[in-house]
Each structure stands twice: as structure tokens, then as C-alpha cells.
Amino acid sequence: GNLIEEIPIHPKKRLASFQFFNDGQYYFFHIGWRQLDTFEGVVGLPYDLVSLSADGDILTEHKTFPTKAVIASKGGIRGGFVPVDKQITAVWMSKYLVISHTGEYLLNLFDAESQKIIRMFKRKYPRIKATDKNDKRPDLRIDWDGIIFRSPKRRYLYDIEKLLINGNNLWVLTSKIKEGKGYVVDVFDINGVYTDMFYLKLPQEITKEYIGIVNMNLSGEFLYAAVKDDNDLYTIKKYRLY
């Protein structure tokens, strides 16, 4: 819990959502507001993947991943945004970043060594219609000076709910649930080859809250998730997979 080191952040960029560290570079996402032509309605919010040198001096922009969002604006003044699609990432083998940034089944693989997207892969996936019963996404909205900006009701669930890394394999937790068995999980290797699938039955205390799956992670044979306790406080729980 001791502070080991501080590094300055590039003053011309507001960085958010730290991803990973590799070979003296810190990787973040930055929202490129200036790339937008309009601040009204649903837009492709430009998430720029950038890296910052360890000394904080050199900032490099790599790739932009537009992710749908509703912009809250009034009189030309921007007041935030409400997500429509969600961005999901996972660090793989300490040097790759897997990125999902649309509601559909599409994955990008960024390689920190070559500093570029080396692969895009997906599979045919029957989209699942969103209903009042299966759509657990919260009512996302911003109430700004009496004007409510909210994410439109979606027609389909996100194809991908979560990305998990298990050794050399990527686990893609899909939105498809088989009754009595659990979530359908697709398995890919580093070449983007679909190698297997299985069912993952998650505890109800994880799935009853949307944030449970969002904050879920995997390490070795254990699954970690943020769940609510009896006092409505979030705690991190550890589950054995096998």
C-alpha cells in the first residue's frame, strides 16, 4: 500500500481507463472530443488508444475505437455522455490488448511490440433480442437542468458481455444463456482461431446485478467479482472455477 513512484501526465490530454504497462509504456484510453462533428444525439464516441512513456514526456496515439454514446449537450455546451454500446478490454500475455467496442461480435487485437492492430476476428453469432426479462442494463441517463439524456432502449443484447484470459486462451462470455447450464463461453487462441466452447454457470449473486459481470475477472483457477452484501455494500468475492 506504499506509494512507490509518481509520473506526470501529459498536460494536453486527459487520460482515462488505464489498460496495461509494457516495455516502458503506459497504455490508456483517451476520449478525442475534438474529432466529433456534432455534440447531439447518438455519436461514435472516439476512444483513442494512447501510450505514455514512463517519464511522462512522450505521448503516442495508436488507434481510435468509436463507441456509440448519447451526448448530453445544451446550447453548444457539453455536459457528459451516456453509453449506448460498451467498451470491453482484456490484457493478454502482458503485451496484447483485446478490444470490443461495438454491440456486435467483433474483437480487435492490439500488439504493444508492433504498436498496431495485428488481428480482427469474430464469429457468426445469432443476436439475442432484448426483453424486459433479459435486459439487465441499468437505465443510463443524465438529468441536466431539467433535460433528461438517456440511452435508447436497445433491440438486442450486447453479443459480448465480458472478456476473460485463461493462460494462452481468450474466453469470450457471450450473452447467450443455456437454461440449466449457464453462459455460452467461446474460446480463441492468439491467432484468433475459435478452438472450443463451454458453459459457465455463474452464481446468482454475480448475475443479479449488472455490475457483477462488468467487474468480474479471472486469475488462474479463481474468478473474482464485485457483489452486494446484506448492507448493500460491494465486496470482492473469490470463486473456484474447477
Does the pLDDT of residue 171 top 80, yes or no? yes
Residues 101, 40 share a domain? yes
Residues 190, 167 share a domain? yes
pLDDT score, position 230: 83
Q: How far apart are CA 176 and CA 157, in angstroms?
A: 9
Could you give the number of structural domains in the chain? 2
Residues 157, 97 share a domain? yes
The answer to whether residue 3 is domain-embedded is: no
Does the pLDDT of residue 211 top 90, yes or no? no
pLDDT score, position 111: 98
Q: Which residue has the higher pLDDT, 80 or 70?
A: 70
Residues 217, 169 share a domain? no
Give the rounded distance of the alpha carbon of 49 from its chain centre: 13
The answer to whether residue 156 is domain-embedded is: yes
Does the pLDDT of residue 185 top 90, yes or no? yes
Q: Beginning with the edge strand found earlier in the chain, give each strand of the sheet holding 77-83 in spatial order.
A: 16-22, 25-31, 42-53, 59-74, 77-83
The answer to whether residue 193 is domain-embedded is: yes
Does the pLDDT of residue 4 top 70, yes or no? yes
Q: b/e for 112-137, b at 16 or more Cβ within 10 A?
A: beeeebeeebeeebeebebeeeebee
Which cell is 130 given? Answer: 432484448
Residues 182, 126 share a domain? yes
The answer to whether residue 9 is domain-embedded is: no
* Segment 140-161 mean pLDDT: 90
* Arithmetic mean of pLDDT over the chain: 90
Residues 182, 76 share a domain? yes
Does the pLDDT of residue 146 top 90, yes or no? no
Cβ-contact 162, 187 below 8 angstroms: no
Residues 141, 64 share a domain? yes
Does the pLDDT of residue 68 top 80, yes or no? yes
The answer to whether residue 181 is domain-embedded is: yes
The answer to whether residue 7 is domain-embedded is: no
Residues 144, 82 share a domain? yes
The answer to whether residue 84 is domain-embedded is: yes
Does the pLDDT of residue 90 top 60, yes or no? yes
Residues 208, 109 share a domain? no
Residues 23, 127 share a domain? yes
Residues 47, 77 share a domain? yes
Does the pLDDT of residue 162 top 70, yes or no? yes
3-state class of 217 per DSSP?
strand
Residues 159, 215 share a domain? no
Q: How far apart are CA 111 and CA 161, in angstroms?
A: 23
* List of residues 6+ apart from 239 with CB closer than 8 A: 203, 222, 223, 224, 225
* Segment 63-90 mean pLDDT: 88
213: domain range? 203-242
The answer to whether residue 2 is domain-embedded is: no
pLDDT score, position 56: 79
